[in-house]
Homo-oligomer: A and B are copies of this chain.
């Protein structure tokens, strides 16, 4: 397999304004990424689109061909990849394979989602398609209720008080303040966190990522194309996707997200890095309980000790494991099928030294992880600065 590099990135601001339709969001991100990479459309081999909800919420499938057309790439190979909220990461994985496997020298991956043009109840129902409908959905479970089940069981098992989770969203909101593409520009403190309404017990408003719209894209290229471009170069050194049963009831221990462990260790092994080498972790903080369980399943903390990281000194931009450095799903926002690409764009900006106010000093190794459902699909990538 060949080395794969990120040659350029593009993103639209994450927003609640639904006036821009999905095809234009996607095209804006793709065009921005191509411009950033200084790559002509004629040199692009394929476009891979990550999306979860367009068919359900916008009556629009076949986003591959559609966004190719609106991006000035009409005619090229294009298809959509779906893995619920991990659609963006899964599309990145397919794009990675196309370059690593020698199919193409340059491809574009774009994650796109538009969610705010319909009623909130429609979105809640649509998001429940990421769960096991026959086992969970038909019983009225939503993504909120499933995460509430995990959070309640976690708090019970380890005797955790609600305020312990607060530092995760507080840090995310802090990082989003200086991210012009973030949805939320509002700092958060413990008092506000604790005073926020319970959405689904024990989940508070600030434990949840917001419903929003956005698109992000990356240009992936082979080494000889990357070599024509200026340093620093960012390489995708590890790429892995693992799965688990969708329904919590089909897993031996719902608090053990096995697909996180499998995909993290596989991506890190491929990249030749260990936990101590990771300079920042763009993780899937759709819920604070998901952040907590991720840190454990990914091997950064023992079971029950994930909240040891809930500390500004550890996860801030100057901490030993900066998380969600541009605000994460929580505060940059979580346009579901796009999030995996936003995460990779942000990790790229960090490693390329282009993160400006959000820069993690000396960032050389990033772990990026995108999750579908309650851990049923987990895509992990390790990005390295390759000077």
Contact = CB atoms under 8 A, between A and B. Distances in A.
Given A65-B377, A77-B241, 17 more contacts: A1-B101, A23-B134, A55-B82, A55-B129, A62-B84, A62-B246, A62-B376, A63-B82, A64-B82, A64-B90, A65-B243, A69-B245, A77-B242, A78-B241, A79-B93, A81-B81, A97-B98
Given A76-B243, A77-B242, A61 B137 contact: no
A69 B245 CA distance: 6
Q: Count identical subunits in the complex.
A: 2
A244 interface: yes
Nearest to A94: B94
A75 B1 contact: no
Contacts of A373: 62, 65
Interface in A291-350: none
Bin the interface of chain A by size: 35 or more
Interface string A107-137: 0000000000000000001101110111001
Interface in A218-253: 240-246, 250
Nearest to A69: B245
Interface in A18-68: 21, 23, 46, 52-53, 55-56, 58-66, 68
A377 B79 contact: yes
A12 interface: no
Nearest to A125: B59
A355 to B, nearest CB: 29
Most chain B CB inside 10 Å of its own CB: which residue of A65, A78, A126: A65
